[in-house]
Amino acid sequence: MYETLQPVAEDPILALMASYRRDTNSNKLDLGIGVYKDEQGQTPIMQAVSSAERLLLERETSKSYIGPAGSEGFNRLITQLVFGADHRVIGENRVVSAQTPGGCGALRIGAELLAACSPTGRIWVSDPTWANHRPLLAGAGLEIREYPYYDSAQRSIRFGEMIDSLNGAEAGDIVLLHGCCHNPTGADLEPEQWRQLAELIERRGLLPFVDIAYQGLGDGLDRDAYGVRYLAEQLPEMMVVTSCSKNFGLYRERTGALFLIGRTPAQTERAGGQLFSRIRGHYSMPPAHGGAVVETILDDTGLTALWQSELSAMRERIRYLRHRLVDRLEQVGVNGDFGHIRHQRGMFSFLGIEREQVVALRKQHSVYLVESGRFNVAGLSNGSIDAFVAALAQTVG
């Protein structure tokens, strides 16, 4: 039976990782894969996470099933983290949350539910967006449309065109938005732009689906959540996805959450029931460990303070690397306009170089970036910036 299956085209990021591993140059630099790295190039386990794991080892008494929605405590605390403890959707009982296998699990199960209830079955995504959004959303049966987002020449958001395009969306269409630290561009919407979007979404009867996979890595936990909280304040219905992969460093533990906001408590409860039943029919229930770690941290003021200070250090380090890189590029006089890298947010930005230059960086300097020229700022370090700048100077002039 399997002979009818065609070979799968190689995933560009996984292929890049494999060629990085094979490269024997001791000064090789991986700026491709989207994980946070410290000055030593490691992706460390956060201390708050290790402490929580030690506590869990002592306290956990059972590995019995946790149910499709996951842990009640995790859901309560992660809802407060994303929306803020005083948000109206919590007070009004209009939000239901499910612990999910990472942000990906949340995106897929959210898309499954939306495909079943959106009258048009269409979702608008930014051009460009994170590559895995497409298979996750289209695989659930949603039809994908694009709205213009990033202007590579101007290195800024094409907001006017984005609005024009979304004005052509039909009632019942879904709009996928990045809550903060847009992947891959690093270009985020300003508060005034979120306000205009909320007005458009309401006027056209669209449903916002916000992916906030990097809360805390841009401007801070609360400021990064501005857009998501504002839309939830203004609009009757919404879907939101979060991930604990980056801000808790729990990548492989597959920890995230899906939030559904409904018009009334009764509608929210009914939709939540549908959500949990769909989860049961997919992966039955989420893995428990990562959620238990997050719950242990957020339920303990000392551990929460430790986690927040570690997260701030990561955020500050990314910001520092952004400035230091652009300072060095300007001092060396590398050809090009790199100023946007300073003020963009999160782990990624586009260098704004050609594909051939990306290939030359890899072949001649063992610097690994994805073909679009997106690079992981957190993959740099004080020790590697100068070599990276020198490689860029030789490649782009």
Which residues in 268-287 contact ligand PMP (CB under 6 A)? none
Which residues in 333-392 contact ligand PMP (CB under 6 A)? none
Task: Name the burial class of residue 144, with classes exposed (0-12), middle (13-18) and buried (19+) by CB atoms within 10 angstroms of its CB.
Answer: middle
Among 126, 245, 344, 384, binds ligand PMP (CB under 6 A): 245
Q: What is the rounded distance in angstroms from the CA atom of residue 297 to the CA atom of residue 164? A: 43
| CA-atom Rg of the chain in angstroms | 21
Active site residue 124: no
The minimum distance between CB 333 and ligand PMP, in angstroms, equals 33
Nearer to ligand PMP, 178 or 365 (CB): 178
Nearer to ligand PMP, 102 or 249 (CB): 102
Nearest to 190 by CA among 4, 298, 343: 343
The minimum distance between CB 246 and ligand PMP, in angstroms, equals 7
Q: Is 227 in the site for ligand PMP (CB under 6 A)?
A: no
Task: Name the burial class of residue 40, with classes exposed (0-12), middle (13-18) and buried (19+) by CB atoms within 10 angstroms of its CB.
Answer: exposed
Nearer to ligand PMP, 297 or 392 (CB): 297
Active site residue 246: yes
- At residue 257, φ and ψ (nearest 5 deg) are -150, 150
Q: Is 208 helix (H, G, I), strand (E, B) or coil?
A: strand
Q: What is the rounded distance in angstroms from the CA atom of residue 219 to the CA atom of residue 309? A: 14
The minimum distance between CB 184 and ligand PMP, in angstroms, equals 8
Among 32, 68, 70, 102, binds ligand PMP (CB under 6 A): 102
Q: Is 34 in the site for ligand PMP (CB under 6 A)?
A: yes
Q: Are 205 and 171 in contact (CB under 8 A)?
A: yes
The minimum distance between CB 147 and ligand PMP, in angstroms, equals 16
Nearer to ligand PMP, 33 or 55 (CB): 33
Q: Are 175 and 201 in contact (CB under 8 A)?
A: yes
State how far the alpha carbon of 313 is from the alpha carbons of 107, 206, 217, 242, 372, in Å.
28, 38, 10, 21, 28
Q: Where are the beta strands (DSSP E) in the chain?
A: 29-30, 95-100, 122-127, 143-148, 150-151, 156-157, 174-178, 207-212, 238-243, 256-261, 348-350, 367-368, 374-376
The minimum distance between CB 33 and ligand PMP, in angstroms, equals 9
- Which among 124, 130, 194, 307 is annotated as catalytic? 130
Could you tell me whether strands 143-148 and 348-350 are parallel, antiparallel, or unpaired per DSSP bridges? unpaired
Number of residues in contact with ligand PMP under rule CB under 6 A: 13
Q: How far apart are the first and last CA of the chain?
A: 54
Nearer to ligand PMP, 178 or 317 (CB): 178
Q: Is 292 in the site for ligand PMP (CB under 6 A)?
A: no
- Which among 30, 188, 194, 246 is annotated as catalytic? 246
Q: Is 171 helix (H, G, I), strand (E, B) or coil?
A: coil
Among 70, 110, 256, 287, binds ligand PMP (CB under 6 A): 256
Among 103, 179, 227, 379, binds ligand PMP (CB under 6 A): 103
Catalytic center residues? 130, 211, 246
* Contacts to ligand PMP by CB under 6 A: 34, 102-104, 130, 178, 183, 211, 213, 243, 245, 251, 256
